[in-house]
């Protein structure tokens, strides 16, 4: 795969799980901005310190903290055969930034996958997952932020003819099969 895949979809829709499976099968990196930020917090870096309060509240971290991170990550050698983005872009400004960046580094986002899962199933899944930011209040806020800022990317990518909607409310193995077929078609 010389092309990238972007996962859209609300928190808890399975982006991380499916991203890891696909990345392993395709031997490309799974790039999760959420994981990178959690690592920065664990490492007590300046980025981690700045990001933490936003993440604890379920808000998006300001774009200026994320854009350099993603530029640097996508420019690393291991992305030359492709990549899977999980959690980026999260708003239209980030998507526009990514489009420009990909042009300059000669990559392309070939597929954008929207994993569709009903809200009540999401809340249930996230409460079971039990990450630091998986409290009921924060989950509710993250879903609102998704609707306000990230869901507009569905039409953004639809207009580019790149959107694939996948029913994420089924067994992970079923979702993985659908995605595998998509990228090998």
**Residue 34 makes contact with ligand AMP by CB under 6 A:** yes
Nearer to ligand AMP, 4 or 58 (CB): 58
Round to the nearest angstrom and report the end-to-end CA distance of the chain: 11
In the complex, least distance from residue 15 CB atom to ligand AMP, rounded to whole angstroms: 7
Of the candidates 28, 142, 157, 166, which one interacts with ligand AMP according to CB under 6 A? 142
Of the candidates 41, 54, 79, 165, which one interacts with ligand AMP according to CB under 6 A? 54
Count other C-beta atoms under 10 Å from residue 88's C-beta: 23
Reference 35, options 19, 57, 13, 21; nearest CA is 19
What distances in angstroms separate CA 159 from CA 90, 91, 162, one per listed residue? 17, 15, 8
Q: Which stretch binds ligand AMP (CB under 6 A): 83-91, 109-117, 155-163, 168-176?
A: 83-91
**Residue 82 makes contact with ligand AMP by CB under 6 A:** no
What distances in angstroms separate CA 13 from CA 7, 57, 80, 136, one per listed residue? 10, 19, 27, 16
Of the candidates 26, 47, 60, 113, which one interacts with ligand AMP according to CB under 6 A? 60
Of the candidates 5, 6, 37, 115, which one interacts with ligand AMP according to CB under 6 A? 37
In the complex, least distance from residue 133 CB atom to ligand AMP, rounded to whole angstroms: 6
**Residue 90 makes contact with ligand AMP by CB under 6 A:** yes
CA distance 53 to 133: 11
SS3 at position 109? strand
Q: Is the dihedral of CA 183, 114, 111, 71 positive or negative?
A: negative
**Residue 55 makes contact with ligand AMP by CB under 6 A:** yes
In the complex, least distance from residue 47 CB atom to ligand AMP, rounded to whole angstroms: 11
**Are the CB atoms for 14 and 118 separated by under 8 Å?**
no
**Residue 33 makes contact with ligand AMP by CB under 6 A:** yes
Radius of gyration of the chain from its Cα atoms, rounded to whole angstroms: 16
Residues 113-132 that bind ligand AMP (CB under 6 A): none
Footprint of ligand AMP on this chain (CB under 6 A)?
A: 11, 33-34, 37, 54-55, 58-61, 66, 87-88, 90, 94, 142
């Amino acid at each position: 795969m010389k092309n990238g895949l972007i996962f859209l979809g609300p928190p808890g829709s399975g982006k991380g799980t499916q991203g890891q499976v696909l990345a392993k099968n395709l031997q490309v990196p799974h790039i999760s901005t959420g994981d990178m930020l959690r690592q920065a917090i664990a490492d007590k870096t300046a980025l981690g310190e700045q990001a933490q309060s936003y993440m604890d509240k379920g808000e998006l971290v300001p774009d200026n903290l994320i854009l350099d991170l993603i530029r640097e990550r996508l420019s690393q050698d291991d992305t030359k055969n492709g990549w899977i983005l999980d959690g980026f872009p999260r708003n239209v400004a980030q998507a526009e930034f990514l489009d420009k960046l990909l042009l300059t580094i000669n990559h392309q986002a070939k597929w954008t996958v929207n994993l569709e899962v009903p809200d009540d199933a999401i809340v249930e899944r996230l409460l079971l997952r039990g990450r630091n930011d998986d409290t009921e209040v924060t989950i509710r806020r993250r879903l609102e932020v998704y609707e306000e800022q990230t869901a507009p990317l569905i039409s953004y990518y639809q207009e580019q003819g790149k959107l694939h909607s996948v029913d994420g409310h089924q067994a992970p193995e079923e979702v993985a099969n659908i995605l595998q077929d998509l990228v090998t078609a």
